Structure 1
Amino acid sequence: MDKPIDHKTWILVADGEKALFLENLGDSDLPNFAIRRVEEHENPPDREQGANKPGRLHDGGGNHRSAVEDTDWHQLEKERFAAEIADLLYKMAHRGQFEKIVIVAPPRILGEMRQHFHKEVQARIVGEIDKDLTNHPLDQIEKLLAA
């Protein structure tokens, strides 16, 4: 990535539960990120979301039974949130809120968002970084992305 985070470039730092929309008010050499919007999504651990024990299937003759893998509700919520963020980016791009954006997210969430990005958003993406930086302070995010 050749320093795509210049003046007025937006940066989305997201994971499956939180999204920070930042704007670089500085330049590529001296970034100065300002928070433009924060989205948080309540997503309790899977153990708190699944109500039932995993199911079991009878495998033909005899007393042989197999467990059925339970749904990972926590992961499903992360994927749903990624789709919501992609939709929100489309609305923001359509309103002209940003011309260029860098997407920073863990690989799985980044992949999920890519599936939902509208062409109008894809055309404005100038970089992607597969890292989870949502719990880092703003100055740390600036340093890590400027490096």
Structure 2
Amino acid sequence: MARLKNNTMVVVTDSEKALFIRNLTDHENPHFEVTDEEHQENPSDIEQSANRPGRMQDTGVGQRSALDDTDWHELAKERFAKDLSDILYKEAHKGAFDHLVIAAAPQVLGVLRQEMHQEVLNKLVADIPKNLTNHPIEKIEEIIKAELDGD
């Protein structure tokens, strides 16, 4: 069973915002403090697209097929997760934390798992596939403690 220890780093993230939190106490009575935040502006795909999707010649006479346009919004989400994994690596390499808990939206967590360096994975105590970024800090404490108790 995973447990929160004093000074555990907790990262709560979605595809546009990351909260870096420290647990200042123990598992029985966690007390979280936000130490840093990362934000990324990520407008909808329509706002980021330059023009309508392209077309190409098809096999039939006078036929054309539409091409899917790049989904810039999804690419930005993946880029944010990759950037976050780089931040975690730098912090782990500096010795900023010994224990890490990540609570992330499921699709972000999937990208993070692929991108995280082994040094970060070695410090990972638990990953929770939930989006908690818009919860108050007291609720985040409660949910994470409950999730870890359920392991």
> TM-score per shorter chain, which class?
over 0.9
Partner of 1:46: 45
Partner of 2:136: 137
List alignment gaps of at least 5 residues for structure 2: 147-151
Query: What code does the residue aligned with 1:35 have?
Result: V
Does structure 1 retain, via aligned residues, the 8 Å contact 2:23–2:30? Answer: yes
1:3 is displaced (CA, Å) by 4.0
Counterparts of 2:124 and 2:40, CA distance in 1: 24
Does structure 2 retain, via aligned residues, the 8 Å contact 1:3–1:146? Answer: no
SS of corresponding position for 1:74? helix
Query: What code does the residue aligned with 2:32 have?
Result: F
Alignment of 1:42-121 (within 5 A): 42-121=41-120
63-72 vs 94-103, which moves further? 63-72
1:102 is displaced (CA, Å) by 0.6
Query: What code does the residue aligned with 1:110 have?
Result: L
Deviations 1:47-75, CA, capped at 9 Å, x for gaps: 11001101112211223222111111011
Query: What code does the residue aligned with 1:44 have?
Result: P
SS of corresponding position for 1:11? strand
SS of corresponding position for 2:114? helix
Query: What code does the residue aligned with 2:60 have?
Result: G
- Superposed structure 1 runs of 4+ greater than 4 Å apart: none
- State, as a whole percentage, how many aligned pairs show the same letter: 49
Query: What code does the residue aligned with 2:135 have?
Result: H
Counterparts of 1:126 and 1:3, CA distance in 2: 6
Counterparts of 1:6 and 1:58, CA distance in 2: 61
Partner of 1:22: 21
- Paired residues in the alignment total 146
List alignment gaps of at least 5 residues for structure 1: none
Counterparts of 1:87 and 1:133, CA distance in 2: 21
Counterparts of 2:64 and 2:25, CA distance in 1: 62
Partner of 2:31: 32
Counterparts of 1:3 and 1:100, CA distance in 2: 10
Counterparts of 1:75 and 1:142, CA distance in 2: 29
Partner of 2:149: none
1:26 is displaced (CA, Å) by 1.7
Partner of 1:13: 12
